[in-house]
Amino acid sequence: MKIAISSSRQTLDSQVDQRFGRAEYFIVVETESMEFEVLNNDNNASSGGAGIGTAKLLVDADVKAVLTGNCGPNAQKTLSAAGIKLYTGVSGTVSDAIESFKAGKLSETFEPNVDSHFGMGSANG
């Protein structure tokens, strides 16, 4: 299953970026083979609607689930409309997050866990 994890760096031992829309990178991984690719998230510097643009990036990458720290309402709505499962409150390294997901330890969320613009202004991770 192809999933995406918001990441502060470009490797599997990077910390999960706590911001969804303004995450630096997404690591898109095929959970069976553990093959992965890194997406640069240009929406990171967007003046507005960053979460929507980021969600669109992941829709185009054809992922089925997203693991991140915090996700706002517009991003959540976009992911939901595209049928992508969302898991928030994820922290630690990207590889730990993938292992938790594969072990069924994460629970899917159906609501945003922060307001719009939560990830603006401060760097994280």
Partner 1 sequence: MAENFTIAIASGKGGTGKTTIATNLACAISQTGKVVQYLDCDVEEPNGHIFLKPQIEKTSSVTIGVPEVDEELCNGCGKCGDLCQYNAIVCLKDKPLVFDQLCHSCGGCMLVCPTGAIKEKAKEIGFVDIGSANGVKFGRGRLKIGDIHTPSLIKNVKGNSIKDGIVIIDAPPGTSCPVIEAIKESDFVLLVTEPTPFGLNDLKLAVGMVIELGIPFAVVINRSDASEKMVNDYCSEQNIQVILEVPDERRIAEAYSVGNMIIDTFPEYKKDFIELYERVSSYKR
Q: Which residues bind partner 1 (CB under 8 A)?
A: 46-50, 52-53, 55-56, 59, 74, 77-78, 81-82
| Residue 81 C-beta: closest distance to partner 1, Å | 5
Q: Which is nearer to partner 1, 53 or 112 (CB)?
A: 53
Q: Which is nearer to partner 1, 13 or 42 (CB)?
A: 42
The DSSP string of 43-106 is: GGG-SS-HHHHHHHHHHHTT-SEEE-SB--HHHHHHHHHTT-EEE-S--SBHHHHHHHHHTT-S
Q: CA 51 to CA 42: how far, in whole Å?
A: 11
| Residue 68 C-beta: closest distance to partner 1, Å | 18
Q: Which is nearer to partner 1, 63 or 94 (CB)?
A: 63
Q: Which is nearer to partner 1, 4 or 97 (CB)?
A: 4
CA–centroid distance for 60 within its chain:
14
| Residue 59 C-beta: closest distance to partner 1, Å | 5
| Residue 2 C-beta: closest distance to partner 1, Å | 15
Residues 6 or more apart whose Cβ sits within 8 Å of residue 116: 51, 72, 73, 74
